[in-house]
Structure 1
Amino acid sequence: MSDEFPKIRLRIVLAPGVAFGPGKADLLQGIAETGSLSAAGKRLKMSYKRAWSLISDLNSQFAEPVVETEKGGSGGGGGSRLTPFGERLLVTFRSIETSLETGAAADLSALTGMVKPVLAEAERSA
């Protein structure tokens, strides 16, 4: 998703205590792009402990593992990757985001028109 306004931040609650939203999706995207849980977390200004906790939660809450990790040796060399299930989860979430943004475009435009012009302009300049 871009930093342009308006934007929708989608968080889906799938079951009690099981939610998936932009933070977890961005973490998965980062892992897919870098092959590293640590690097993905750093991109999001997230501690390794927090990133690991989120991935651990995802792996335990979904029907199949979302991320696989390899432990590195004394010289490093470990890595992380999305499982095929994790790839499908991310693609499905991004598809829902796109559908929602497309379907709500007219309503978003109407809502944007309700914002004070000074605030709307400040956000565009930021």
Structure 2
Amino acid sequence: MLKLRVKLCSFAALGPGKANLLEAVDRCGSITAAAKDQGMSYRRAWMLIDEMNRAFREPVVGAAAGGRTGGRAEVSELGREVLAIYREVQQLAETAVSEPLQRLENLVADSPEPPPAGTAPGSGRHRPLRDDD
């Protein structure tokens, strides 16, 4: 499976998590409900949306303040366009790399064994993974 992450600027990227969150906000109509739908805290969802809103020329999500009936959030037209473009790029990338990825998957062990419990990443002869790995 391919997980596509697009670097937008020096502080933000768009990947499957943020794309799924945008879809959840669109479907649920609130950041609270979208956060719950995605299994994350409201604070985490709000921070991710704020990061996306800062990265683009216009907000991708707009919110109305809560009240007796609670707040509302709406994915903007720009947000829907961003999401559509991301999904298009994701589909094109998956199509382009499907054959080599299948060859790679064929080389993976049938039942790969996880590292022993208590083994810290970077211990022994292994080094921690970097972004460019």
TM-score by length of 2: 0.79
Q: 2:103 corresponds to which residue?
A: 110
Alpha-carbon distance in 2 for matches of 1:59, 1:15: 12
The runs of 5 or more residues in structure 2 that have no matched partner are: 113-133
Residue of 12, 22, 25 corresponding to 2:19: 25
Say which structure, 1 or 2, has more relative contact order (CA 8 Å, 6+ apart). 1
Q: 1:88 corresponds to which residue?
A: 81
The runs of 5 or more residues in structure 1 that have no matched partner are: 1-6, 120-126
Runs of 4+ in structure 1 displaced over 4 angstroms? none
- 1:18 offset after TM fit, Å? 2.0
Identity across matched positions, percent: 38
Residue correspondences, number: 112
What root-mean-square deviation, in Å, do the aligned CA atoms of Structure 1 and Structure 2 show?
Answer: 1.1
- Structure number having the greater helix percentage: 1
Please identify the structure whose Cα radius of gyration is greater. 2
Q: 2:64 corresponds to which residue?
A: 70
- 1:115 offset after TM fit, Å? 0.5
TM-score by length of 1: 0.84
